[in-house]
Amino acid sequence: MADEASDALYALASLGYSASGIGAEVKLGEGAIGVAARERIPVRINYRTGDYAYHSAMRATQPGEPRIALPLLADAHSQIAVPLLHGGRLLGVLYAESEHDAYFSHADEDALVVYARHLAALIAQAACEPDDAEPARVEPSAHPSGAPLAVRHFAADHAVFIDNDYLIKGVAGSILWILLSEFQRSGRRDYCNRELRRDPRLALPDLDDNLETRLLLLQRRLAERCPAIALEKTGRGRFRLQLAQPLALEAR
């Protein structure tokens, strides 16, 4: 999925790999995925080539820069990346790969382009659904117990670490830190998307803030790497923070 605020894309789901790579970052112009996003055209590669230093670029990490590895085949010979476009806006990219030469045909590309068009329309429609008009019903939650989770937040890039393991950064990391800090201060758990959009600490764009996708990315990343923290949907545009352990927060 595209993140206009950082000129990058983030993996939201994958299939067929040993690791999901949820939250993995791909810069515009980086590999087949990044080129398809930047140029807004399908990219189909039928043979292994040095023109696309894809796997090395995806696995390279700048010193000191936390980054989630994108799951990729060790020896991909065919790649196809199709942008998700709606109303002139880039929403994301569909990507597939194979260890065989010439695996994806013109018919495959045409089919994925049609599928991507419909998927982009559904994503855009979901983002326009109104929030619940009635306040969320607040239910009592179990008090977290056990050893506290050590949560560190770095203001420079909003990277969040849980017990010294990198979790997420960017806007999603900023959202998580706001939720955890507010819980620590007041015990609050219930939120609505509307108020997050207005929170000046997030500095979301006025249009196309992609908040729903950011929250889904955060929800899936937590479920995969830190199930002691969860975001539970309680209505349209509403969710609840669930904690199984107490917190020890540190801001840097």
CATH for 53 = 3.30.450.40
User: CATH number for the domain including 215?
Assistant: 1.10.10
Nearest of 108, 87, 78, 95 to residue 15 by alpha carbon:
95
- At residue 142, the pLDDT reads 63
Query: Could you give the number of structural domains in the chain?
Result: 2
Q: What is the pLDDT of residue 61?
A: 47
Among 53-62, 186-195, 229-238, 242-251, the range scoring the smallest mean pLDDT is 53-62
Q: Which residue has the higher pLDDT, 134 or 96?
A: 96
Taking the mean position of all CA atoms in its chain, how far away is CA 131?
21
* Lowest pLDDT segment from 41-50, 115-124, 213-222, 243-252: 41-50
Q: Do residues 215 and 112 both lie within one domain?
A: no
Residues 119 and 8 in one domain: yes
More confident residue, 123 or 94: 94
* Closest to 28 (Cα-Cα) out of 97, 81, 87, 99: 81
Q: Does pLDDT of 8 surpass 70?
A: yes
Q: For position 65, what pLDDT does the model report?
A: 65
Task: Kindly state whether residues 14 and 90 are assigned to the same domain.
Answer: yes
**Residue 143 within a domain:** no
Please check whether residues 108 and 8 belong to one and the same domain.
yes
Exposure class string for 63-76: b at 16+ Cβ within 10 A, else e: eeebbbebbbeeeb
Answer yes or no: do 90 and 158 share one domain: no
Q: How many CB atoms lie within 10 A of CB 107?
A: 8
The domain boundary, picked from 126, 160, 181, lies at 126
Residue 25 has pLDDT above 60, yes or no: yes
| Residue 247 shares a structural domain with residue 159 | yes
Q: Does a structural domain hold residue 237?
A: yes
Among 1-10, 24-33, 121-130, top mean pLDDT goes to 24-33
Q: Alpha carbon of 244 to those of 32, 142, 149, 219, 229: distances in Å?
A: 40, 8, 10, 15, 7
Per-residue pLDDT at 245: 93
Residue at 177 is within a domain = yes
In a domain, 138, yes or no: no
Residues 165-190 have a mean pLDDT of: 92
Same domain, 97 and 163: no
**What is the DSSP code (8-state) at residue 71?**
P
Spatial distance between the Cα atoms of 6 and 240, rounded to a whole number of angstroms: 27
In a domain? residue 163: yes
- Does any domain span residue 134? no
Angle (CA) 238-5-210 rounded to 5° is 30
Asked if 63 and 154 sit in the same domain, the reply is no
Residue-number span of the structural domain to which 8 is assigned: 2-126
Same domain, 60 and 171: no
Q: Amino acid identity of 98?
A: S
pTM for the whole thing? 0.79
Q: What is the mean pLDDT of residues 204-224?
A: 82
pLDDT at 63: 52
On whether residue 144 sits in a domain, the answer given is no
For residues 11, 13, 18, 24, the Cα torsion angle rounded to the nearest 10 degrees is 10
Q: What are the helix and strand counts (H, E) for the chain?
A: 6, 13
Per the CB < 8 A criterion, the answer to whether 37 and 83 are in contact is yes
Domain identity same for 113 and 53 = yes
